[in-house]
Structure 1
Amino acid sequence: MNGWLLAAGVTAFGVAAVHMVAGRRDIVLPLLSCGLADEPRRVLHAVWHMVTVDLVLSAAALVYLATADDTSVTGPMAWFVAAHFLAYAVVFLVVTLSADWARPLLRLPQWMLLLPVAVLTVAGVA
Structure 2
Amino acid sequence: MNGWLLAAGVTAFGVAAAHIVGGHRDVVRPLLSCGLADEPKGVLRAVWHMVSVDLVLSAVALVHLSLTDGTSGSGLVAWFVAAHFIAYAAAFLVITLSVGWSKPLFRLPQWILLLPVAVLTVAGAR
TM-score in terms of structure 2 length: 0.97
Q: Is the 8 A contact 2:93 2:111 kept in 1?
A: yes
Where in structure 2 are the equivalents of 1:40-55 lying within 5 Å?
40-55=40-55
The answer on 1:19 being equivalent to 2:19 is yes
Q: CA deviation at 1:68?
A: 1.1
Q: CA deviation at 1:70?
A: 5.5
Counterpart-to-counterpart distance in 1, 2:3 and 2:70: 16
Q: Is the 8 A contact 2:82 2:119 kept in 1?
A: yes
Counterpart-to-counterpart distance in 1, 2:47 and 2:99: 22
Question: Which residue type is aligned with residue 62 of structure 1?
Answer: L
Where in structure 2 are the equivalents of 1:42-121 lying within 5 Å?
42-68=42-68, 71-121=71-121
RMSD of aligned C-alpha atoms?
A: 0.9
- Deviation per CA, 1:56-103, whole angstroms, max 9, x where unpaired? 000000000000166211100000000000000000000000012111
Counterpart-to-counterpart distance in 2, 1:106 and 1:71: 39
Where in structure 2 are the equivalents of 1:3-18 lying within 5 Å?
3-18=3-18
Q: Percent identity?
A: 75
**Number of positions where the alignment pairs a residue of Structure 1 with one of Structure 2:** 126
Comparing 26-35 with 65-74, greater Cα deviation is found at 65-74
- The runs of 5 or more residues in structure 1 that have no matched partner are none
- The runs of 5 or more residues in structure 2 that have no matched partner are none
Counterpart-to-counterpart distance in 2, 1:69 and 1:124: 9
Q: Could you list the runs of 4 or more consecutive aligned residues of structure 1 that deviate by over 4 angstroms after TM superposition?
A: none
